[in-house]
Amino acid sequence: MTVEFILNGAPVSVRSDHPHLLAALREELDVTSPKDGCSPQGQCGCCTVMIDGKVQISCTYAVEKAAGRVVTTLEGVDEAERTRFSDAFAACGGLQCGYCIPGIVMRAKAQIDKKGAGLQRDDMARHLGAHLCRCTGYVKVLDAIEAVAKGTPVDPALPGGIGTSGAKYEAAELTLGDRGYVDDLRVPGMLHGALHLTAHVRADIVRIDTSVAAAADGVVGVFTAADIPGEQYVGIIYKDWPVFIGEGQRTSYAGDVLAIVVAETKQQARAAAALVQVEYGVLRPIVDPVAAIDDPEIAVFGTKNNVLSVSEYARGNTDDSLAASAHVVHEVFNTQRIEHAFLEPESTLAVPGDGHLLVYSGGQGVWDDRDQIAALLGVGIDAVTVELVSNGGAFGGKEDMSNQGQTALAAFLLQRPVKCTLSREESFLIHAKRHPIRLEYWAGCDADGHLTALRVRGIGDSGAYASVGMKVLERAAGHASGPYRVPDIDVHCTAVRTNNPVCGAFRGFGANQAQFAMEGVMDRLAEQVGISGWEMRKRNVIRPGEVWGPGQIMDDGAGGAEACLDRAKPHIDAALAAGKAVGMGLGLKNSGLGNGLREVCAAVVRFRSADGRVEVRHGFTEMGQGVHTVALQTAVTELGIDPARIEVIVDTTRQLGFGQTTGSRGTLMVAASVQHACRVALAAECAPDVDHYAEHVVDWTQKLGDPAVPNPTIHAAFGFAAQVVVADRDTGAIEKVVAIHDVGRAVNPRLCEGQIEGSVHMGLGYALSEDFPSDEHGFPTNMTLRSLGILRPKDVPPIEVELVEVPQPRSAYGIKGVGEIGLVPTSGAVAAALHMVDGVWRSTLPMGRVTADD
């Protein structure tokens, strides 16, 4: 049976067996501006369309109901109106990764059609409650919608050189859904893959029977661990993560993959994947990270114990100093597991041909993807090219491979193109999360509030596989003292393996967990001393030339900490004078990898004689943070050319990038490498049709905790930030956040502000409401987007951003980066503000919200 309706002015006919209208639009009609972020949950808004002139979430709309109706997607909107929206979102900085924006545009269009210039900002924010944006914090999204509604003239021009504001690279295409993501790609003969995941987090796999699945309609192949020609295990640091769990092996977490089913359609593949039959020998899950350390049983198959890593260092005599301190605080802090909730679920397309495999990936480390896929297939790395497709958000959650390995294997064995896209539920189960960490702090100060000593013991639940868990706990250890000088310090942090969800990289990367605790300690000590939290920080803030945390002697860039602190004082004083409850947090976060790793990034500049365009090629992932725009603005600065001539390309035909796009290193490394490549080009008089190549190398850091190096430079750069949270003294409702961030140099101030606004939004959720718990069986319990506790637009308070520019030595243009530091101070500031409301010190995240009844 078929269903007929009008789509964008033309009659169409689709099969009636699609699970919802969105599937019919995307899978049969190849209309891709409506995005699939959560089908069939209907909770992200990315698939919003108009039906008979009214907005509708298409992943919850039955295909049969569309019969005879008029369906409009963003492709069918009048071109002049499309341009008004794309210009406004580009000019206002109203998008980052862009995945959610086409759906938001459709919602905004419906409201503007009804209310025109009378559309109120608060009313629009309420209507955006049906939508999630994980990048922007909604501030500039609402700015853009307001500009369209009121007909405000805007300038969507690209930016000029470093320090100028302008539109994000590809902003118009992203706004309109015209720049595709992996799941938007279509190639001739493409098959679809679906995964079969384990039903138990710790169980022996006795038997996998794929016969029923293989006989299902449309199925072309079913593959398991037995079909792997090369290496079974992958991983960014340790090769301990199995692409498949095979017979005779053991599962270790809820995201373990047992089989991939490949069929002619996505619907057939998913139906058949459910038919794979597995016989399990179920074992006791190990889910308590503290108990797991001494548990006689091993949580993760193939490992020797349940301790993934230990990061530790000490200076001075902490015991004696604490004993002699005038004031001492002892507190245990607990932070929660968090789901990234990037709006684009993971998707991979693998296309074989002529002895070579081309893999389209949205991952954060295409070079790691390439190397791991080649090892899995048992071929050389020259037989695999991983082409980056800019993704729909990541925040660290797309560093590890998700379905790249299984998809590549299926395409390799079948010698046909295969695409596999995860459902939202599968995404929740598979990719790594933010670490929950138990942090026990002992801190002392003298009678005047000067810190004397700090002892920290941290235990982080890293889940089953290594990912970068050891580095997260290493970063938590290194940042345990916050942006303060502490004469005597003793820090010991352990990453523990359990059968809970894997934990790895997430914006903040251990620094936000540790500094929630350290900021809490600072406020408790301030109360004992009898001074304000601001004054306590002023007396202890780290300055250039002083010894910080693990022993690093801070360079001139450390002046950013005090600069942010001083800028916060007038905001605190004004709020107190107005009778408000106020809390502040001060934080630092490294940029780059550091810890003794040699970081290399290369870039190529090429002048094309055929069309006069200038290619700027690099190897980092664009995921909304604007690394393409950084490359463009660097080239404009160095070459003095019109930005419209520049084409930014992620070149994966050669190794221009090394490692992951993480830790704000994309901005630092790309800016520096493009700067060097431009100067090579200028020295060659910009010779046409030549690759002007250059590298940027950071090789002057040392490893944390090496007794032979008492003053290690563990990081090459740091960002600093102060945030002030203003709340109502009676209700505890947060009324405003002032975010003061030292970014070294703002490459594009408007886009930089947007990064900070999005970080504050994420930080408020982290502080108040977000959680991703798992049960006694090791399975997550919050399996819908709405259950995660992410703040919706109407719940986000006004966010004021102030940029501080204290240059970072040995960094191009003094850049420090901004993505990582963004939410580090937020939770501590919220905790302090709520303490002023009700007198309760908070030590556990999320804190929840104070209500009038409280």
pLDDT tens, 113-172? Answer: 999 999 999 999 999 999 999 999 999 999 999 999 999 999 999 999 999 999 999 999
- Please, which pLDDT band fits residue 663 given cuts at 50, 70 and 90? low
Distance between CA 329 and CA 189 in Å, rounded?
65
Cα 818–chain centre separation = 13
CB burial class (10 A; 0-12, 13-18, 19+) of residue 186? middle
pLDDT 10s digits, 53-85: 999 999 999 999 999 999 999 999 999 999 999
Nearest alpha-carbon partner for 141 in 104, 87, 178? 104
Half-sphere exposure of 500 (CA within 13 A, CB side): 29
Between CA 589 and CA 594, with CA 593 as vertex, the angle to 5 degrees is 90
Residues 6+ apart with CB under 8 A from 166: 157, 158, 159, 160, 629, 633, 643, 748, 750
* Beta partners for residue 490, in sequence order: 314, 455
- Please, which pLDDT band fits residue 854 given cuts at 50, 70 and 90? very low
Which CA distances in Å does 422 have to 269, 506, 541, 782?
Answer: 12, 20, 45, 17
Residues 6+ apart with CB under 8 A from 283: 200, 202, 203, 204, 250
Distance between CA 717 and CA 405 in Å, rounded?
34
Place of tokens 């559309």: 119
What is the token pair recorded at 180? 């595709």
* Beta partners for residue 720, in sequence order: 588, 742
What is the token pair recorded at 409? 């294997």
Nearest alpha-carbon partner for 210 in 252, 246, 251, 255? 246
- Please, which pLDDT band fits residue 851 given cuts at 50, 70 and 90? very low
pLDDT 10s digits, 621-660: 888 889 999 999 999 999 999 999 999 998 888 877 767 7
Structure confidence at residue 656 (pLDDT):
76
Structure confidence at residue 17 (pLDDT):
96
How many Cβ atoms sit within 10 Å of the Cβ of residue 487?
15
Structure confidence at residue 819 (pLDDT):
86
DSSP state of 158: P
Q: Are strands 437-445 and 327-334 parallel, antiparallel or unpaired?
A: antiparallel
Cβ atoms of 133 and 104 closer than 8 Å? yes
Q: Are strands 54-57 and 356-361 parallel, antiparallel or unpaired?
A: unpaired
Q: Is the predicted pLDDT of residue 842 greater than 60, yes or no?
A: yes
Residues 6+ apart with CB under 8 A from 222: 210, 213, 214, 259, 260, 261, 262, 272, 276
Distance between CA 691 and CA 171 in Å, rounded?
27
Cβ atoms of 727 and 735 closer than 8 Å? yes
Q: Is the predicted pLDDT of residue 769 greater than 70, yes or no?
A: yes
Question: What is the end-to-end Cα distance of the chain in Å, rounded?
Answer: 57
Residues 6+ apart with CB under 8 A from 373: 357, 359, 384, 386, 401, 404, 405, 408
Nearest alpha-carbon partner for 785 in 424, 422, 337, 501? 424
* Beta partners for residue 388, in sequence order: 361
Cβ atoms of 39 and 47 closer than 8 Å? yes
Residues 6+ apart with CB under 8 A from 839: none
Write down the mean pLDDT value for the chain: 96
pLDDT 10s digits, 572-582: 999 999 999 99
Structure confidence at residue 95 (pLDDT):
97
What is the token pair recorded at 147? 């500009």
Structure confidence at residue 850 (pLDDT):
55
Nearest alpha-carbon partner for 492 in 503, 480, 482? 480
Cα dihedral 782, 784, 786, 789, rounded to 10, equals 30
Distance between CA 75 and CA 67 in Å, rounded?
20
Q: For 42-46, what is the mean pLDDT?
A: 98
Stretch among 294-303, 460-469, 586-595 having the lowest mean pLDDT:
586-595
Cβ atoms of 724 and 571 closer than 8 Å? yes
Q: For 707-716, what is the mean pLDDT?
A: 94
Q: Is the predicted pLDDT of residue 852 greater than 80, yes or no?
A: no
Residue 120, phi then psi, degrees to nearest 5: -90, 145
Furthest-apart CA pair in the chain: how many Å?
A: 82
What is the dihedral sign for C-alpha 503, 507, 510, 515? negative
Which CA distances in Å does 553 have to 159, 543, 549?
Answer: 36, 9, 9
In 3-state terms, the chain is what percent helix, strand and coil (to 5)?
35, 25, 45
pLDDT 10s digits, 468-479: 999 999 999 999
Per the document, the length of the chain is: 854
DSSP state of 25: I
Distance between CA 719 and CA 741 in Å, rounded?
8
Q: For 452-474, what is the mean pLDDT?
A: 98
Structure confidence at residue 804 (pLDDT):
98
Radius of gyration over every alpha carbon of the chain, rounded to an integer in angstroms:
26
Distance between CA 362 and CA 469 in Å, rounded?
21
Structure confidence at residue 480 (pLDDT):
98
